[in-house]
A and B are shown apart, each in its own frame.
Chain A
Amino acid sequence: MSNNNAVAAAAFAELQETARESWERLREKPLILIGAATCGRAAGALSLLEEVKNEINRLQLDANIIEVGCMGHCYAEPVMVIYNAGFPAICYGYVKEGVGARIVRDFLTEGDPGIEFALAALEPNDLFPTFADFPRGVHENKIVLEQCGFIDPQNIDHYIATGGYAALVKALEMSPEAIIETIKSSGLRGRGGAGFPTGVKWETCRNAPGTPKYVICNADEGDPGAFMDRTILESNPHLMVEGLAIAARAVGAEQGYVYIRAEYPLAVERVTLAVQQAREKGLLGNSILGTGFNFDIEIFQGSGAFVCGEETALIASMEGKPGIPRHRPPFPAVSGLWGKPTIINNVKTLSYVPHIMKNGAEWFKSIGSEKNPGTAIFALAGKVINTGLAEVPMSTTLNELIFDVGSGIAGGKKFKAVQIGGPSGGCLPETALDTPIDFDSLTGAGAMMGSGGMVVLDEDDCMVEIARFFLDFTQKESCGKCTFCRLGTKHMLDVLERITRGQGRPGDIDLLQELAAKVKAGSLCSLGKTAPNPVLSTIKYFRDEYEAHINEGRCPSLMCKDLIAYYILPDKCERSCDACVGSCPVEAIHDNEDRIKVIDQKKCVKCDSCMVACPPQYKAVVKLSPPHLVQEKEKEYREGKKQWQKK
């Protein structure tokens, strides 16, 4: 083996040499990075790329442009970075049409870095703050996301030049037992949701009888609003590939699979290319780097069923059977794909592995907290200002994540709750914002870590409706196999729908809680076992909202359509303005005898158009709940007028 090691080390040194050369060559000229992951593309990154290329050609400038993935600042897409000698590297955000060409022109021809468009500098300087100078930077600690947005995901050389695949080479020199020991003592817990200790899972698989063994990367990511795994695969796919190869080496597998949803075409493309490039470099395939260790990876595209992310359903789906969970045990580590011992790990879990192999278990344990070492990666979504990806040490508080990293609530609104842990997570209120983000604390608070989805809710969000929304998702995505999940969630959903329609009954809250407890206790897989969480946590923290719906027919957040009515305040209406009348799609708004606009409640479809159309200086359109308040207001108006006429 030691002979093999020397061969591998020499072969790898050669790869590193080539990679470094091409990496350094990039920086010999000004270098422009354009964030072109799915988030960037949605905001116009590809036209920005075109625009910048054209400008460079037009001015006959000598510069390198590369497409990179996402740095996590999705709120500011499209994002562009320029390395220009003599200046600190600068990251620009919100690079709208025309702006990209202008920045490049001014910067590369006149030395004007255009700091009015900059988000931050990437290295300390006297000119401009870096990301680390913002509240966000205090908390951020990028391990998995470190290279995301800074290297070309389509170029394996960039990954190798920045330290990639060295961990695999190291792992090839170690015994499988030693690799497992390292992962075990690092305390790494699975990032797919359950937080199961990764090293223990690997050890079980290694010791399980049966060959061949398989390793699978779970990139199904079915949580609505979640995009951590997608972004990582689009931005730095080799990290997962390397992690999967190390896992294979540890458990003794020769075949790996990446189970990735077909709705992620760019991620599929990037992973496919990464695997191909790794194979070409001899980092995958037969006798990797001449060590005699064989391992290869195949991509399997799933078709977007949430439940197929559950490991036994995922395996069934790979075997060509319906994607339906089965009873565990046996766990996949003992009997998985084709009945063979199989490791299934999440994208993020595997992406930590190379870093742990490189820096050691102690290093990993020094980040986060004792039982929850390492970082947490979240996709911030909803009403938060800085939507995007964030990586912070475990045990950072929700408060810090939402208000420092996320910059708080958009539109000056008030924070109400954070829905954390995906569709089966829970909603935590302001009073729980001190909760540290880790597997155990979040579960204790009635939510869960999940895979890293986080939706921030503000005062306009009705918590009953939020619970209904998530349960509607899990109910539709339930495979329907087991009684509790198929019928229990259906009954719960019916009750919630009734409540949001104003037809709630006394006793509904108790009924929901009873059903929830049974569905949690009785369901076959974790989909059912966790589906009631949004309902239970909203009842726990926002019971008053349920009661207002049930007892008063009132939606305190003015969100449930059946419980609100639109009303035009007579003393605010400008009379000669017709904005609302023109905006109404059903001609429900007309003038009264005083030319004040009045909404015909029978015709109104509550589309919100008039409220949007009413000019902000008047703000005459309001929502009232319960809807019968409109009649009271109208009566008040008529009586007030009568009195006035009498005088």
Chain B
Amino acid sequence: MAEKVTITIDGRTVSAEAGEMLLWAALDNGIYIPHLCADREDKENPAASCRLCFVEVQGRPVPVPACTLPVSEGLVINTRSERVDGLVAAAFELLMSNHKLDCKNCPANGNCELQRIAKERKLRLKPKNLPVLERNLPVDNSVAGLVYDPNKCVLCGRCVRACRRGGNAVLGFTRRGYDRVVTTFGDVPLAESGCSGCGECAGACPVGAFSVQK
């Protein structure tokens, strides 16, 4: 068993395992910090790519992503501040400017991490200052029971890791910059990729880009 340390989050004293990334320590103590890319089964290698879990750390000049911060005795954290809220709101608005918003027809409706973040942090789902960037990528429903709509994908990578762990490891990232996308090797439809249709991806996807259809 790892050594226990005491840390302070938003004025609350909580106990956590030394070296545990702060995000998990907070979540396990019932303190919510927005996150999309964080993966509980691969805590040591945070992607730190969604840029939503910023917190203030006492003694640090700038906000830090909570998924990358190993906790140590006496750590003092604030999950909210003007700077943190500004960063989280900006990252969220950027993601929402590139997410096909169709909650009514979305299988994730009511169980969507984006909706949750919007609710917790009082953010708008529809971007206010930014135009919507439409990707118009084809929806892949080549495997029975599985639907992949890349236009909803926020590139958190949870499906990629879930597929590697529990599926046939057919998913990966490809391309650079704005064109980065989750797809199969050679961009072939899922049905031709070796996908077993196990649905691990849909279980991992926080935003309804991968979903299982009954």
Residues on A lying within 8 angstroms of B by beta carbon are: 305, 307, 322, 326-327, 475-484, 486-491, 494, 511, 514-515, 518, 521-524
Choice from B45, B87, B155, B175 contacting A522 with Cβ under 8 Å? B87
> 8 Å CB contacts to A: which residues of B16-32?
none
B51 contacts A491, C-beta separation under 8 Å: no
Known contacts A305-B176, A483-B50: does B62 contact A521 (CB below 8 Å)? yes
CB <8 Å contact, B178 and A487: yes
A-B contact pairs, 8 of them (CB 8 A): A476-B177, A481-B155, A483-B52, A483-B94, A487-B178, A488-B90, A491-B130, A524-B48
Task: Give A518 to B49 CA distance when docked, in angstroms.
Answer: 15
* Residue contact B176 to A480, C-beta cutoff 8 Å: yes
The 8 Å CB contact of A481, one of B54, B63, B179, B180, is B180
| Contact of B98 with A487 in the complex, beta carbons under 8 Å | yes
Hey, which chain B residues are within 8 Å of A524, CB to CB? 48-49, 51
A583 to chain B, nearest CB (A): 38
With a cutoff of 8 Å between Cβ atoms, the chain B residues found around residue A518 in the complex are 86-87, 90-91
Q: Is the CB of A479 within 8 A of B62?
A: no
Quick one: which of B47, B48, B130, B176 has the most chain A CB within 10 A? B176
Q: For chain B, give the interface size range.
A: 35 or more
Q: Which residues of chain A have C-beta atoms less than 8 A from B68's C-beta?
A: 327
Chain A residues, Cβ within 8 Å of B54: 522
CA distance A494 to B178 in the complex (A): 12
B97 interface hit (Cβ, 8 Å): yes
| Shortest distance between the CB of B199 and any CB in chain A (Å) | 26
Q: Report the Cα distance A524→B155, complex, angstroms.
A: 15
Task: For A482, give its contact among B49, B62, B86, B176 (CB under 8 Å).
Answer: B49
Cross-interface CB contact of B177 among A327, A486, A521, cutoff 8 Å? A486
What is the chain A residue whose CB lies nearest that of B174? Answer: A322
Complex partner residue of A487 from B45, B48, B83, B94, CB under 8 angstroms: B94
Using CB atoms, name the residue of chain A closest to B96: A487
Closest B residue to A475 by CB, please name it: B177
**With A and B bound together, what is the CA distance between A490 and B177 in angstroms?**
8
Cα of A511 to Cα of B154 in the assembled complex, Å: 23
Name, among B45, B52, B62, B68, the residue most crowded by chain A CB atoms within 10 Å (CB to CB): B68
Chain B residue contacts of A480, Cβ below 8 A: 155, 173, 175-180
Cβ–Cβ contact A486 & B46, under 8 A: no
Chain A residues, CB < 8 A from B87: 518, 521-522
- Which B136-180 residues have a C-beta within 8 angstroms of A? 154-155, 173, 175-180
Contact A475 B178 (CB under 8 A): yes
- Distance, CA A511 to CA B131, complexed state (A): 12
Cβ-neighbour of B90 out of A475, A484, A490 (below 8 A): A484
* Bound-complex Cα distance A521 to B87 (A): 8
Q: Write the chain A residue with the least CB distance to B47.
A: A481
- Flag if B95 contacts A483 (CB, 8 Å): yes
Q: Given B47, B91, B155, which contacts A484 in the complex, CB threshold below 8 Å?
A: B91
Name the B residues within 8 Å of A491 (CB-CB).
94, 97, 130-131, 133
By beta carbon, the residue of chain B nearest A511 is B129
CB distance A482 to B180 under 8 Å?
Answer: no
Residues of A within 8 A of B48 (CB): 326-327, 482, 524
Q: B129: which A residues are within 8 A, CB to CB? A: 511, 514
**A485 vs B167: C-alpha distance when bound (angstroms):** 30
Q: Are B177 and A479 in contact (CB under 8 A)?
A: yes
Closest beta carbon of chain B to A109's beta carbon, Å: 59
CB distance from B33 to the nearest CB of A (A): 15
Give the shortest distance, in Å, between A311 (CB) and chain B (any CB): 16
List residues of chain A with CB within 8 A of the CB of B90: 484, 488, 515, 518, 522
Residues of chain A contacted by B49 (CB below 8 angstroms): 481-483, 524
Besides A326-B45, A481-B155, 18 more A-B contacts (Cβ < 8 Å) are A305-B176, A475-B177, A476-B176, A479-B176, A479-B180, A481-B173, A482-B49, A483-B49, A483-B91, A483-B154, A484-B90, A484-B94, A486-B177, A487-B178, A491-B94, A518-B91, A522-B51, A522-B90
A479 neighbours in B (Cβ, 8 Å): 176-177, 180
The distance from the CB of A449 to the nearest CB of chain B, in whole angstroms, is: 21
List chain B residues, Cβ under 8 A from A307.
176
B71-96, CB under 8 A of A: which get 1 and which 0? 00000000000010011001100110
By a CB distance below 8 angstroms, the chain B residues around A475 are: 177-178
User: Are A322's CB and B65's CB within 8 A?
Assistant: no
Q: How far is the CA of A322 from the CA of B52 in the complex (A)?
A: 23
Chain A residues positioned under 8 Å from B83 (CB to CB): 521
Question: 1/0 per residue B180-194: CB within 8 Å of A?
Answer: 100000000000000
Q: Which residues of B contact A483 (CB under 8 A)?
A: 49-52, 91, 94-95, 154-155
| Cα distance A480–B131 in the bound complex, in angstroms | 19
Assembled-state Cα–Cα distance A137/B30 (Å): 67
Contacts of B62 in A (CB 8 A): 521
**Neighbouring B residues of A522 by C-beta, 8 Å:** 51, 54, 87, 90-91
Known contacts A322-B173, A524-B49: A490-B133 contact under CB 8 Å = yes
Complex Cα spacing A494 to B94, Å: 13
- Give complex CA distance A307, B63 in Å: 24
Complex CA distance for A292 and B23, rounded to whole angstroms: 48
Beta-carbon contact of A486 and B178 below 8 Å: yes
In angstroms, Cα B63 to Cα A518, docked, is: 12
Whether the Cβ atoms of B91 and A477 lie closer than 8 Å is no
Q: Which of A476, A484, A489, A511 contacts B51 (CB 8 A)?
A: A484
Residue in B closest to A479 when the chains form the complex, CB atoms: B176
User: Which B residues are CB-close (under 8 A) to A482?
Assistant: 48-51
* Bound Cα distance from A482 to B97, whole angstroms: 15
Residues of B within 8 A of A523 (CB): 51
Which residue on A lies nearest to B129, using beta carbons? A511
Q: Which 7 A-B pairs have the closest CB atoms?
A: A480-B180, A518-B90, A487-B94, A327-B48, A478-B177, A490-B178, A483-B51
A474: nearest residue on chain B (CB-CB)? B177
- Closest A residue by C-beta to B87: A522
Tell me the chain B residues, 109-150 only, with Cβ under 8 Å from chain A: 129-131, 133
CB distance from A501 to the nearest CB of B (A): 15
Q: Which residues of B contact A322 (CB under 8 A)?
A: 173
Expressed in whole angstroms, the minimum distance between the Cβ of B153 and any Cβ of chain A is 12
Proximity bits, B32-69, A CB within 8 Å = 1, else 0: 00000000000001111111101000000011010010
CB contacts (< 8 Å) of A478 on chain B: these are: 176-178
Contact of A486 with B91 in the complex, beta carbons under 8 Å: no
When distances are taken between beta carbons in the complex, the residues of chain A under 8 Å from B65 are 327
Chain B minimum-CB-distance residue to A305: B176
User: How many whole Å from A536's CB to the nearest CB in chain B?
Assistant: 16
- Asked if B50 and A327 make an inter-chain contact with CB atoms under 8 angstroms apart, the answer reads no
Cα A275 to Cα B46 with chains together (Å): 38
Return chain B residues, CB-CB under 8 Å to A521: 62-63, 83, 86-87
In the complex, the answer to whether A487 meets B95 with C-beta atoms within 8 Å is yes
**What's the minimum C-beta distance from B100 to chain A, rounded to whole angstroms?**
14
B155 CB contacts on chain A under 8 angstroms: 480-481, 483, 486
Q: How far is the CA of A480 from the CA of B129 in the complex (A)?
A: 22
Q: How far is the CA of A494 from the CA of B48 in the complex (A)?
A: 26
Within the assembled complex, what's the spacing in Å between the Cα atoms of A522 and B86? Answer: 10
Complex Cα–Cα for A327 and B130 (A) = 27
Shortest C-beta distance, B7 to chain A (Å), equals 18
**Bound complex: CA A293 to CA B94 (Å):** 53
Smallest beta-carbon distance A194→chain B, Å: 16
CA distance A644 to B176 in the complex (A): 63
> Complex: how many Å from CA A487 to CA B132?
11
Question: Which residues of B are found within 8 Å of A487, using beta-carbon distances?
Answer: 94-95, 97-98, 133, 178
CB neighbors of A among B187-214 (8 A): none
* Nearest residue, chain B, Cβ from A480: B180
Chain A residues whose CB sits within 8 angstroms of the CB of B175 once the complex forms: 480
B180: chain A residues at CB < 8 Å are 479-481, 486
